[in-house]
Chain A
Amino acid sequence: MRDRLSIDPVCLGAGLALAAVGVLIVLASSGALSVPLGWMAVALTAAVAVILLLSGLVDGGPRRHD
């Protein structure tokens, strides 16, 4: 029987990371916040890292068939 309250951590992490980056893009594009390219690169790298890390932790790793 499928657990109806199950949460997908990859989607959750990706959603949060993308929402945060999206807010940063809105602020930078509207001129409300001056975001240097270096800091934007850090934010983007962190978002991708979070997604890859969660994806690896949830789906990856060695699988034992014993």
Chain B
Amino acid sequence: MTDDTPTEDTPTIEQPKTEDRPPRRLQRSSSDRILAGVAGGLGRYFRVDPVIFRIGFGISLLFGGIGALAYLLLALLVPTDGEPDFAQRLGGRLQSRGLWRGLAAIVIALLAVAGLIALTGASALVVALGWGVPVGIAVVAIGALLLIAALRGGGARWLIPPAVAIAIGAGVASASDLNFRGGIGDREYQPLTAASIPADGYRFGVGRLVVDLRHLDWQRERVVRLRLEMGAGQANVFVPSDVCVAGTAHVGAGETEIVGERNSGLGVDHSVGSAASAVPRLQLDAELDVGQLRVINSDTASVDNPGYGPGPFHEDTAPLRAAEARACGTG
């Protein structure tokens, strides 16, 4: 019996042709990545350790951030070797719409956001300088304009973002009683007698205020009343170590450090020596919107020590508290 079925052709084995190998492609690495795999892809493409590119991108941040921009562009333009990630999808979308149009849109959007943030800050500053009522009236007027525009079919929606930015800045500033009236900069007072202290106290806007009461004749003055009102910044009051400090301080947002006791946060109400009747005594009534208020009972502290960095009073406040206890007769 013969097998007359046609025989199949013997399969031939295809030999790979080395000359048809595809050219190397720059692709972001999906396996060797920290952010978007740009350094990993560059390292593989150039056959060098990707760490070199990572260090290069890191160092470039210190010189104007051009490396960050290059990294961002590479992340958007260079595809990954794995599943398309967010950067690739975003890059593809930008390219389909025209890359430059996309980049221009991003720049315009960033500028618009920056402008709105600046508008918010500016309106808060204007309110803090005492123009809260006019700004509020302006917001009402813009609201009225929008109402009129709405009844006429619209066309004034572009007014909404800047109006909201103004309202947010003004609203926060007015509700938090921000008060920058009274000047901006550095003020230092060293009254020699209690009579030379203003009856309504010291008022200051923004900056650094120093009231050094160590030059008073405390044996003669006995009880000195001091009122402080300040917008934003740092207020330092210095008294001799043998003076009892009593009274209250309110800080809207920030920190109080009074005779070695610290409080911080929002709406800080700090009272010290409330029942003290000892003399000599400083009777304090202080109000600060934003910042740091310090009352330092030390004979040696320097008024030039701003106190934000490490300093003798931030390192150890126990001597100040001990001095206060002795001066107020509670120790």
On A, residues with C-beta under 8 Å from B are: 2-4, 6-12, 14-30, 35-37, 39-41, 43-44, 47-48, 51
A29 contacts B167, C-beta separation under 8 Å: no
A19 contacts B144, C-beta separation under 8 Å: yes
B140 to chain A, nearest CB (A): 3
Q: A35 with B142: in contact, given A29-B133, A51-B160 (CB under 8 Å)?
A: no
Give B147-177 as 1s and 0s: 1 = Cβ < 8 Å from A's Cβ atoms: 1111101111100100110011011101110
Q: Identify whether the interface residues of A are mostly helix, strand, loop, or mixed.
A: helix
List residues of B (112-160) whose CB comes within 8 Å of A's CBs: 127, 132-133, 135-151, 153-157, 160
A39 to B171 Cα, complex, angstroms? 10
With a CB–CB cut-off of 8 A, which chain B residues contact A17? 143
Closest to A3 in B: B153
A18 contacts B142, C-beta separation under 8 Å: yes
Q: A21 with B150: in contact, given A26-B136, A26-B140, A35-B174 (CB under 8 Å)?
A: no
A-B contact pairs, 10 of them (CB 8 A): A6-B154, A7-B150, A10-B160, A18-B146, A21-B139, A24-B136, A28-B171, A29-B132, A29-B174, A30-B133
B172 contacts A37, C-beta separation under 8 Å: yes
With a CB–CB cut-off of 8 A, which chain B residues contact A18? 139-140, 142-143, 146, 160, 163-164, 167
B138 contacts A11, C-beta separation under 8 Å: no
B12 to chain A, nearest CB (A): 51
B139 contacts A30, C-beta separation under 8 Å: no
A2 to B155 Cα, complex, angstroms? 14
B172 contacts A10, C-beta separation under 8 Å: no
With a CB–CB cut-off of 8 A, which chain A residues contact B146? 11-12, 14-15, 18
Q: Name, among B139, B142, B155, the residue most crowded by chain A CB atoms within 10 Å (CB to CB).
A: B139
Q: Which of A3, A6, A19, A39 contacts B140 (CB 8 A)?
A: A19
Q: Name, among B132, B144, B156, B160, the residue most crowded by chain A CB atoms within 10 Å (CB to CB).
A: B160
Give B91-107 as 1s and 0s: 1 = Cβ < 8 Å from A's Cβ atoms: 00000000000000000
A36 to B172 Cα, complex, angstroms? 9
With a CB–CB cut-off of 8 A, which chain B residues contact A10? 150, 154, 157, 160
Q: Which of A8, A24, A36, A39 contacts B149 (CB 8 A)?
A: A8
Q: A14-B157, A51-B164 are in contact. List 13 more A-B contacts (CB 8 A).
A: A4-B153, A14-B143, A15-B145, A15-B146, A16-B147, A18-B160, A21-B167, A22-B141, A25-B171, A26-B136, A29-B132, A29-B133, A29-B136
